[in-house]
Amino acid sequence: MIKASGARAAGVDEVTDADFDTEVLGAARPVLVEFTADWCPPCRQLAPVLSAVAEEERDRLRVVQIDVDINPVITARYGVLAMPTLILFRAGEPVRSMVGARPKRRLLEEIADALL
């Protein structure tokens, strides 16, 4: 499901409680998931960074967002308490977790080892 929201990054799909396991855990390539909320200013700040990363790394990485307010099951499953939280999944497992907005260069550095 793709839904427009205030913190939505252009070119980044939105996943839900219903399709998370298929779209993220079952993905063939690494997936960077942003746990976000419409009311979250740092999430809006991170949106253009995620859009740029999704575009630049589209062959090696999928970037998706999940709205914590309407998807409580997945949010609770991964213990997300602050927004934005970014979790990088590879082969169905979370391999890196980051909290807070960050510049694109720093984000790419933090996830580089998972993209090899």
Q: Which CATH class is domain 13-115?
A: alpha beta
Task: Please tell me the pTM assigned to this model.
Answer: 0.93
Q: Where are the domains of the chain?
A: 13-115
Per-residue pLDDT tens over the stretch 63-92: 999 999 999 999 999 999 999 999 999 999
Contact present, 67 and 38 (Cβ < 8 Å): yes
The string over 31-68, giving b where at least 16 C-beta atoms fall within 10 Å of a residue's C-beta and e elsewhere, is bbbbbbbeebebbbebbebbbbbbeebeeebbbbbbbb
At residue 4, the pLDDT reads 43
Residues tagged active-site: 40, 43
Helix (H) or strand (E) holding 12, with range, is none
Low-confidence residues of the chain: pLDDT under 70: 1-6
